[in-house]
Amino acid sequence: MAPDGQILASQTTAPNTHQSEPIPEAARAEIERLLSSGDLFRYTSDGAPVALLEQEFADLMGSRYALAVASCSAALFLSIKALDLPRGAKILIPAFTFAAVPSAVVHADCVPVLVEVGDNYRVNMADFAAKLDDAQAVLISHMRGHTSDMDAIMALCDARDIPVIEDAAHSLGTTWNGRNIGTIGKIGCFSFQSYKLVNAGEGGILITDDPELAARCVIMSGAYESNWKKHPGMQNSYMLWQNKLPLYNMRMQNLSAAVIRPQLPEIAARVAKGRAGHDRVAGHLNQSDWLAVPPCLTGEDRAPDSIQFNLSGDWTDAQALKFQSRAKSRGVTVQVFGLSDGNARAFWNWEFLGPQPDLPQTRAMLMRACDVRLPTRLTLDELDFIAHAITDAIEDVKG
Ligand SMILES: *Cc1c(COP(=O)(O)O)cnc(C)c1O
């Protein structure tokens, strides 16, 4: 490990990892135009920014249909509703995900069944297979952009005709054997919340190739009366569903689309930079005997904007907390998922689900797995500052 100070000549203060990149200049003129005309509702004008975003995003992902909505949570909710499952249907979800995911399942009157996740942050396939026969749907959350074995998951689900929804909130730009994450299951859901690769403050989008699912999602998102006519490609399906489904009004408004559209051409560069930055920090952390960054699966090309690593070897909770606080004093926020109070990514904090069976493997992982933001705008010096602050904090505790 490089000694303290070696990299400090160029980078002496910790980077702010919650600061966003500026929104591309091109958004300004469009926002000004929208403000001047007051044309903010997606269904008022033909060729509205939301409709253009849907077309552009579908083209980018190679999907037939896209529907922009208020959040990824809304996209997940609509996707589950579109499956038309009976009330109380069981939906498998990974036990390592964000609280919004079980919340979307509950919101759709279904019951989440938590599946064990290994210390590589991916679905434990033995537990998945054991729980699958009781399930009516599967929602794979690619938590922090870590892709589970989609070949194994799709083979098991296809054999039983169980639909798969992908929560790709943090996987924009990730591929699995060359296929875009979000296009492997029946529906893929993405987020434009500020801490994701494309930042609109809030927002989400779902993609699918299935015209019936697309039509049902469009209607339920709030395409009342004949507003569905402004969505291309499936006139017959829409007519079937108009007035037959509730309108949940989860639409996106034009200002959000105006902020998102000019960021789409930047995705490829952000993915490349995020991957290189992540791998640079991972290379440094993996030199320590006390840290391990799990490798990705064969076939997976990641698009990370954060890094997760495990405290390896013998650690007490007190030592892990000391490591967290020593990193903080060096200006770098490290969260041990299971040791930060009320963390929304620790399943035992999802009290709204009621009592749950324990998931010892996921629990053990969460007690030693660490999370550090690495927004793709960081410079090499800033990445090195973070990497060294982490290994220096390890030395403080273990050295
Ligand atoms: C951010 C996130 C969500 C929720 O997205 P919103 O747009 O904030 O609703 C869901 N799942 C994962 C994995 C996320 O990272």
Asked whether 17 lines ligand 1 (CB < 6 A), one says no
Judged against a pLDDT cut of 50, whether residue 9 lies above it is answered with no
Q: Is 147 in the pocket of ligand 1 (CB under 6 A)?
A: no
Residue 66's pLDDT is 98
Atom 11 of ligand 1, residue of closest alpha carbon = 169
pLDDT, tens only, 289-334: 999 999 999 999 999 999 999 999 999 999 999 999 999 999 999 9
Instruction: Determine the pLDDT at residue 10.
Output: 64
Tell me the percentage of the chain whose pLDDT exceeds 70.
97
Tell me: pLDDT of 211 over 80. Answer: yes
Least Cα distance to 188 among 60, 8, 66 occurs for 66
- Say what the pLDDT of residue 186 is: 98
101 CA → ligand 1 middle, Å: 7
206 lines ligand 1 (CB under 6 A): no
Q: Which two tokens stand for residue 382?
A: 């800033």
Given a cut of 60, is residue 4 above it in pLDDT?
A: no
Residue 134: its pLDDT value, please? 95
Instruction: Determine the residue of 72, 121, 343 to mutate for testing ligand 1's pocket, defined as the one with the most ligand atoms within 8 A of the Cβ atom.
Output: 72
Strands 65-69 and 90-94: unpaired
Range 193-196, long-range pairs (CB < 8 A, 24+ positions): 193/71, 193/72, 193/169, 194/20, 195/18, 195/305, 195/373, 196/169, 196/170, 196/172, 196/305
Distance 199 CA to ligand 1 centre (A): 12
**pLDDT above 70 (res 397):** yes
pLDDT in the model for residue 215 = 94
Query: Ligand 1 centroid vs 235 CA: distance in angstroms?
Result: 31
Mean pLDDT of 104-119: 98
Other beta carbons less than 10 A from residue 377's beta carbon: 17
Tell me what the pLDDT averaged over the chain comes to: 95
Q: Residue 8: pLDDT band by 50, 70, 90 thresholds?
A: very low
Task: Classify 314 as helix, strand or coil.
Answer: coil
Higher pLDDT, 399 or 326: 326
Q: Summarize the confidence of residues 362-384 as an average pLDDT.
A: 97
Segment 244-292, tens digit of pLDDT: 999 999 999 999 999 999 999 999 999 999 999 999 999 999 999 999 9
Amino acid at 69: V
Nearest atom, ligand 1, residue 170 CA: 15
The residue among 284, 323, 282, 276 whose CA lies nearest residue 302 is 276
| Ligand 1 neighbour 343 (Cβ under 6 A) | no
The mean pLDDT of 198-219, rounded to a whole number, is 97
Per cent of the chain over pLDDT 90 is: 92
Does residue 204's CB lie within 6 angstroms of at least one atom of ligand 1? Answer: yes
Residue 2: band (very low, low, confident or very high) from pLDDT cuts 50, 70, 90 = very low
- For the CA of 73, the closest atom of ligand 1 is 9
Ligand 1 neighbourhood includes 193 CB (under 6 angstroms): yes
**pLDDT, position 340:** 86
What is the mean predicted confidence (pLDDT) over 112-127?
98
CB 78 near ligand 1, within 6 Å: no
Does residue 5 register a pLDDT over 60? no
How many whole angstroms from 344 Cα to the centroid of ligand 1? 11
Atom of ligand 1 nearest to the CA of 203: 7
Residue 3: per-residue pLDDT: 45
Residue nearest to atom 14 of ligand 1 (CA): 169
Which residue's CA is the nearest one to ligand 1's atom 12? 169
- Which strand ranges, in their side-by-side order, compose the sheet holding 369-373? 291-292, 306-311, 369-373, 335-336
CA distance 284 to 293: 10
Q: Which domains does the chain possess?
A: 26-265 (3.40.640.10), 266-398 (3.90.1150.10)
pLDDT digit string, tens, across residues 140-180: 999 999 999 999 999 999 999 999 999 999 999 999 999 99
Residue 285 Cα to ligand 1 middle (Å): 27
Distance CA 261, CA 333 (A): 31
Q: Name the band, by pLDDT with cuts 50, 70 and 90, for residue 237.
A: confident
CA distance 66 to 84: 19
Ligand 1 neighbourhood includes 141 CB (under 6 angstroms) = yes
Give CA separation, 78 vs 104, 125, 188, 221, 383, in Å: 9, 27, 11, 7, 38
Ligand 1 atom at shortest distance from the alpha carbon of 202: 7
Tokens for 22, please give them.
């500026």
Nearest alpha carbon to residue 91 among 104, 72, 74: 104
Q: What is the pLDDT of residue 236?
A: 72
